[in-house]
């Protein structure tokens, strides 16, 4: 599974509507409204890299109100369980 975090700037008058539309797209698992430079962060989860283009460029970026996006593709997930295991092995010291 490939996970990407999509940082989204939207038209301020359409943040809730854009978030709702993005959350309904196939390949988007979560959408958050956030503080700071970006208006929304969406989490895309796909099985192949080329599917990211379908989800982000072909669908998400065409949602009304989306002004721009920046995508960060994750390399590895560190769950709390993984972090606890690393510290118990002495890797965090």
Q: Mean pLDDT, to the nearest integer, of 9-24?
A: 97
- Of 82, 85, 72, 86, which is closest to residue 41 (Cα–Cα)? 72
Between CA 69 and CA 88 the distance in angstroms is 39
Report the pLDDT value the prediction gives residue 80, as an integer from 0 to 100. 61
pTM: 0.82
Question: What domains, with CATH codes, occur in the chain?
Answer: 2-88 (3.30.70.920)
Q: Do residues 39 and 15 make contact, with C-beta atoms less than 8 angstroms apart?
A: yes
Confidence of residue 89 (pLDDT cuts 50, 70, 90): low
Above 80 in pLDDT, residue 93? no
Between CA 48 and CA 44 the distance in angstroms is 11
């Amino acid at each position: 599974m490939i996970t990407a975090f999509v940082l989204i700037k939207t038209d301020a008058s359409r943040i809730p509507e854009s978030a709702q539309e993005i959350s309904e797209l196939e390949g988007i698992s979560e959408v958050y409204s956030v503080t700071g430079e970006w208006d929304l962060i969406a989490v895309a989860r796909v099985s192949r890299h080329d599917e990211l283009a379908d989800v982000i460029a072909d669908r998400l970026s065409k949602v009304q109100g989306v002004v721009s996006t920046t995508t960060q593709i994750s390399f590895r997930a560190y769950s709390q369980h993984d972090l606890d295991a690393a510290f118990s092995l002495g890797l965090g010291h």
